[in-house]
Structure 1
Amino acid sequence: TKEIRFSLPALRHASSLGDLLPGDGDADSDQDTDSLVPASAAHTQRSNSFSCYGLGAIDPALYRGTLDLEEDLQFPEGHLGRIWFSLRYEAATEKLLVSLLKAKNLPSRTVGTVNSCDPFVRLHLIPDERRYLQSKQKKKTCNPYFDETFVFQVCNKDMADHILKLTVVDAGRTKRRAIIGHVTFPLRELAPDSEQRLFKMDLEKEAQESISDLGEVLVSLLYNENLHRLSVTVIEARRLKFRLEDRQDSYVRVTLNQHYRTVKVKRTSTVKGTDSPNFSECFNFRVPSAQIDVTSVGFQVLQAVSGYGRDKLIGKFVLGSYMFARGKALTHWNAAFSSPMEQVQHWHALCE
């Protein structure tokens, strides 16, 4: 047999990885490590793991998407909430993809309580606000995560004519839906076939109703949930602007609508000789609980011109669910159905 002699390299004690890698003042160790580990591999290990970030540090590039969602969480006083969403338009299929991500700092409906909010989001393409898509409802949170994607079919030529509107609504415990606020985004600012764009916007209140110069009407609503009966009382009007100034005779026509279809029409008696008539007439309509959200009541104030042609419309307004009404009209409707057997009255401005 032939004897083969070999020897082990001397053990080295090191306090860091840098002590084990080649150094300028250690020629022997250069030869030893080069025979065991390729120089390029050793350099790659060091630069990737230690040269840019210290041991245990976080590489921000790995978390860039998350940081974009979480940054700037400072909210001013009176803040209504902030919503995150992303948009992408596919020109080939004419599809607008809306990814609803989350909302933050929504107001709690009860002062002094935390997370007293059951939010959901409705998505509209203005000018057609009657048709909408809706997110799932989140319960007991002022910081909901939605993570839902919605698809709108929009022609290329119509993109510039539409505005995306996201409305955040608090469902409430008694089915009284209260609008928290909304954001809008003009689709003309979205380039087709571009990368998905992330948006972060603060909620705004619905636009305040302008004061009408046509007059106002005081109306009360009372809902009896046991009898499924809605009692509508036309109490009085004030400062009516008549088309024919020499005949200040007026009455109110009340129309019950369901699914945009007229179900029943009633009217008050004509009150003569005043621009602030007192009507004090009550009308009862059957409205089952399951049909509240598809029901509306329209009011038309008309000037009676018997013998002078057709009666002249002075103004009108609509009370109803979110499908039909906004602002004070929606608030009045919700208040009546969330407080059964309580008479709720408000003044409403007439519009043309």
Structure 2
Amino acid sequence: MKVMNIDVNKKHRVIGQVLCSLTDMDFININKFEMASDIAKYTRGSVGGGTPELLLSIGFNPTISRLTVNILQGKNFRKKSKENHENLEPNTYAKILLGNHTKVVKAKKTVVVKNCSSPEFSESFHFKVEEKDFDTTSITVNIMEEMSLFERDRTIGYCVIGGFMFARGKGEGHWVEVKKNIKQQIEMWHTLVEKSKKKDQCSGGFTPRIEPDSQSSYF
């Protein structure tokens, strides 16, 4: 669905889009559905499977104060070639930021998956989070395109998972399910949002140094 804005001159302008999966909906027994979803940036031709998405699995164990974030896989990751303007398969990695209130307190990253638009990351990361801090904690996952040695890595998109102070739609819903189902891994797909060029919305303007993570594992 396109989200439109109508100005005072009655001109229609596309301000975003919402993609809704109909696969699991029971239209026979249920006549009305209510759902919350993030508004993503509209890209011509993206409706129908072109929007980048990321599959995450998150679990919380308050007994040992551990938040586990599994970066599973992505799809529809693309880059633009400056020479021929064709969609190409990028080299990508995920950068995970643990936030408390508006401060980034920990940052980790996956290995780089080369030349793949639907990469399988399959990496698990553990963060120490006290139960009393759960509602003020958030996770931001940035999907980065690895550039050449003399170029800065580019952000393909990001998603935020946390309470109502930090996230909306699926990001908030995922966090609620994690809180309701402690000691279980809750898996969801998230649509990636393009990062604003004016402000670093993911890290609140602060980008911490990312050290190699000795706790990450492959499965």
- Give the TM bin, normalised by the shorter chain: 0.5 to 0.7
Identity percentage of aligned residues = 32
Partners in 2 of 1:326 and 1:218 — Cα distance? 17
Higher relative CO (CA 8 A, sep ≥ 6), structure 1 or 2? 2
Structure 1 residue identity aligned to 2:38 = E
CA distance in 1, matches of 2:187, 2:172: 13
Q: Alignment RMSD, CA only?
A: 2.0
Cα distance in 2 for partners of 1:266, 1:345 equals 20
For the 8 Å contact 2:143–2:158, the answer to whether it is kept is yes
Q: Give yes or no for the alignment of 1:262 onto 2:99.
A: no
Report matched runs for 1:120-199 at 5 Å: none
* Counterpart check, 1:251 vs 2:93: yes
In the alignment, does 2:65 pair up with 1:228? Answer: yes
Structure 1 unaligned segments of length 5 or more: list them: 1-204
Q: How many residues align?
A: 149
SS of the equivalent of 2:142 reads strand
Name the counterpart of 1:325. 167
Matches within 5 A, 1:213-224: 213=46, 214-224=51-61
Structure 2: unaligned runs, 5 residues or longer: 1-33, 82-86, 195-219
Name the residue aligned to 1:348. Answer: 190
Q: Tell me, what secondary structure is at the counterpart of 2:79?
A: coil
For residue 243 of structure 1, report the CA deviation from its aligned partner. 4.0
Equivalent position of 1:130 in the other structure: none
1:135-175 Cα shifts (integer Å, max 9, x gaps): xxxxxxxxxxxxxxxxxxxxxxxxxxxxxxxxxxxxxxxxx
For the pair 1:208 / 2:37, whether they are aligned, the reply is yes
- TM-score, normalised to structure 2, is 0.63
**What is aligned with 2:76?**
239
Contact conserved, 1:243 with 1:303, CA < 8 A, in 2? Answer: no
Between the aligned partners of 2:36 and 2:174, the Cα distance in structure 1 is 16
| Separation in structure 1 between the aligned mates of residue 162 and residue 156 of structure 2, nearest angstrom | 21
The SS at the match of 1:324 is coil
Native 8 Å contact 1:233 1:280 kept in 2: yes
Question: More helix by proportion, 1 or 2?
Answer: 1
